[in-house]
Structure 1
Amino acid sequence: MLTLIRNVEVFAPEPMGRQDLLLANGQIEAMAPQIRLTGSVPLETVEGNGLIACPGFIDSLVHITGGGGEGGFHTRTPAMALTEATLAGVSTVVGALGTDAISRTLPDLIAKCYALRQLGLGCFFYTGGYQVPVRTLLADVSEDVMLLEPCLGVGEVAIADHRSSHPSPQELIRLASQARTGGLLSGKAGVVSIHLGDDPTGLEWLRQSVAQSNLPLSQFYPTHVNRTEAVFQSAIEFGLADGWLDITASTTPELLAQGEVAAAEALRRLLSAGVSPSRVTLSSDGNASLPSFDADGRYQGLQVGRVASLHQAVVAAHELGVPLEQVLACVSRNPATVLGLADRGRLAPGLRADLLLLERDSLAVQALWCGGKAMVQQGRALVTEPF
């Protein structure tokens, strides 16, 4: 079956004007102003009038097996359902463990990753978790990255947070070196996903790790850079030094009241400050716990991160005046670059057919293909989990 999408406004994520797109064999076979086909090959035609075509979103941090537990066993958050991603326009997720890497395990994370892949969603994972020394499935981080195909790096390693193990720069250097070696040997990025707490010194620790080693700054991929105003100001400096920055979309009224910068506003301010649009990503932190603590670190309550927050942040950022191509790059081309996923994140012939159709005015999700497989049509899920 071939799929021909006609007369759609393409953002690849750069604007390409009106185009036709032909999908076949799981990839984009052709993109041109007008594609004509002859013969009797089975063909599904989708009319794209009034729609935008862009790459499916890449969500670089999702707790696909659930997270949380900061308030006790009953506060463990649920695992991600397939449609939580697809109905939000997400075609690829990267799973991670968080605070709880005891009852949440790497074998369970990997099994969930493969389950989502079998259903059609693109899925990868990070080995390890918050704590250092990290737990791995094989001997160390290098082996996990090199020998486990879906493993892209290590993370999310927590720093500057009362829930972290407070790793030293030397421990971060060792982790990053192992991830880098495993990446080099397997053709992967080997990134170190860094969870930032609310202490603004966290990014300085990453700079120290680079200064004390031969590692490039790009080996570290810090997330939650909009956690507090102080952390955000430090992130601006980090971004101006050409470091990667990941903005978290999931939030709560309580976190915003405590000083978190809303994702859309954070993106607008980073770009206004001169940070390169190519160095910023957005992720949802979906299915993570969003706990609240008092001044003495006592647990106050918890809400759950949602993958849908990623799409909501895209819409909000565009409403704030961020050009659509720059917003879309933060959830497609940019995360594909930092994660080393060369086959997705852009729309071009020969690339994986991860394709999202959005309504032009509202940016509502209308249709989604993952690897050429139709997952959503007319805003409704075509593929769901069996249970």
Structure 2
Amino acid sequence: MARWILAVPTSPRLMPKAEIVCPGFVDNHVHVLGGGGGLGFASRAPELQTSQLVRGGITSVIGMLGFDATTKDMASLVAKTKAFVQDGISAYCITGATLEHPIPTLTGRIRTDIAFVDEIIGVGEISISELGYGYDSFGEGAQYIAKAAVEGLLAGRLAGKSGYLCLQVPPYLSEVLKPIFEVLDKTGIPITQFLPSHVNQTDEYMSDAINWGNRNGYVDIGANYSPENNFSRSTLPSKAYGILREGGVPANRITMSSDGNGAPPKEEAGEKSPVVANYMPVRSLHRVWKRWVRDEGVSIEDALAPVTSNPAAIAGLSRKGRIAVGGDADLLILNEDLEIDTVIARGQPHFRSGAMVRTGMFDATIRDEMGTAQHVVGG
């Protein structure tokens, strides 16, 4: 008979070689409609299927638009969010897109999007600079971020939501988070209103992230941002957690997300312009989490917080990310090798022993068409 251990972020240090029950993962940054588009129409990633999330242990997803707010819009994002909920997992979204200032919304205003649309819980992802990730931020870019953050803050208070702002930061030049530090100092907006995404993209970004975390702000590690995944200037996400903690960032202020289903231009050594999109799988979240525990010596309970309770906290999802009376029954059962054996979302099994128990309407059809059909237990 299997030995079971309940794993929560605040539990005592866990013993190895046991099946582990833990909260389902909360992925706070996923391009559910498909990211990309920066290399032409063919570089637009397809819509995400529910089974892709479930197989990665993700029971709660926060979706957003990205680079392409021309062929994809907020109405489609809200519809996709509703579809995930109909498929049996928990899904939310945030309003906006990476490059536009002002950002696209569903109702015409950030404030009314958050106040009146149940699925919309925040703002983002928004780049500091209107020119996007390849340029330093200056002037009106940071000022617009401040205005958008206040809109989210006020709407969140009205609607009982977080209203937080997911921040896309130009990582490759000198400014990084410095314009947002200036925003904090000049406006008094709470630092917890912002979530800087994928801080392990460069050494400079990591340095600013440590300062940010030491001011009690949340920082987000990007599970797909790695030299192993064509991001040559990044810090391995498996190493980033330890670096942030050694720099003094509190454990309850670190999150990790996948940037899943995104498709940014691939960095090609020796080429002036990229020609291939670099796909970002959602399952990287679980893969990096395992490396924290196996390779970096992070305890299971400490490693769980950045993918469960911490992202739930900044997103204002009080019933998510923990195992507790009154919480949602989003659970994973991991085997002794930390592989996912069972996924339960909202109290219902979705994945068990390597097979999907429940799928979205077109999951099986798509797998069959792609030549990857698998048996579905229980239909």
Whole-Å separation in 2 of the counterparts to 1:159 and 1:315? 32
Amino acid at match of 1:141: I
Is the 8 Å Cα contact of residues 114 and 120 (structure 2) preserved in structure 1? Answer: yes
1:193 matched to 2:158: no
Q: Which residue in 2 is equivalent to 1:94?
A: 62
SS in 1 for 2:199: coil
Q: For 1:159, which of 128, 132, 137 is the aligned residue?
A: 128
In the alignment, which residue of structure 2 is the partner of 1:303?
Answer: 278
- TM-fit CA distance, 1:80: 1.1
Q: Hey, what does 2:77 align to over in structure 1? A: 109
1:51-104 deviation per Cα after TM superposition (whole angstroms, max 9, x unaligned): 101110000000000010111111111111111110111100000000101101
Partner of 1:148: 117
Seen in structure 2, the aligned counterparts of structure 1 residues 292 and 160 have a Cα distance that, compared at 3 Å, is farther
Counterpart pick for 1:325 among 291, 301, 314: 301
Of residues 10, 14, 27, the one that matches 2:10 is 14
The one-letter amino acid paired with 1:149 is D
1:59–1:282 Cα contact (<8 Å) kept? yes
- Does the 8 Å CA contact 2:128/2:145 hold for their aligned counterparts? no
TM-score, structure 1 length as denominator?
Answer: 0.86
Q: Aligned partners of 2:145, 2:254: CA distance in 1, in Å? A: 22
User: 1:171 & 1:297 partners in 2: Cα distance?
Assistant: 31
Shift of 1:243: 1.1
Q: Which residue of 2 aligns with 1:366?
A: 341
Task: Give the aligned residue type for 1:346.
Answer: R
- Report the CA distance between 1:288 and its aligned residue: 0.4
**Counterpart-to-counterpart distance in 2, 1:82 and 1:215:** 36
2:293, 2:334 → 1: CA distance? 13
> CA shift at 1:196, angstroms?
1.8
Contact kept in structure 1, 2:13 and 2:300, CA below 8 Å: no
Q: Give 1:172 shift.
A: 1.2
> Matches of 1:254 and 1:367 in 2, distance apart?
28
The aligned counterpart of 2:209 is: 235
Partner of 1:135: 104
User: What one-letter code is carried by the residue in structure 2 that aligns with 1:340?
Assistant: G
Q: Name the residue aligned to 2:148.
A: 175
Paired-residue identity, %: 30
Deviation at 1:7, TM superposition (A): 5.6
SS at match of 2:266: strand
Matched position secondary structure for 2:304: helix
Q: Does 1:352 align with 2:328?
A: yes
Residues of 2 paired with 1:297 and 1:197: CA distance? 19
Question: Are residue 381 (structure 1) and residue 335 (structure 2) matched?
Answer: no
**Offset of residue 161 of structure 1:** 8.3
Tell me how far apart the structure 2 counterparts of residues 55 and 301 of structure 1 sit (CA, whole Å).
36
Q: Give unmatched runs, 5+ long, in structure 1.
A: 19-48
Distance 1:161 1:143, change over 3 A: closer
Q: Return the structure number with greater strand share.
A: 1
Letter in 2 for 1:182: A
User: Aligned partner of 2:72: which letter?
Assistant: R
User: Does the 8 A contact of 1:256 with 1:262 survive in 2?
Assistant: no
Give how far 1:50 is off: 2.9
Measured in 1, the distance between the counterparts of 2:150 and 2:310 equals 23
Q: What CA distance in whole angstroms lies between the structure 2 residues aligned with 1:183 and 1:384?
A: 33
Amino acid at match of 2:62: V
State the number of aligned residues.
352
Matched, 1:289 2:285: no
Query: Contact 1:9/1:16 (CA < 8 Å) preserved in 2?
Result: no
More displaced stretch, 245-254 vs 91-100: 245-254
Give the alignment of 1:73-84 within 5 angstroms.
Answer: 73-84=41-52
**What SS does structure 2 have at the residue aligned with 1:341?**
coil
Distance change (3 Å), C-alpha of 1:256 and 1:69: closer
Residue 159 of structure 1 deviates from its aligned partner by 2.6
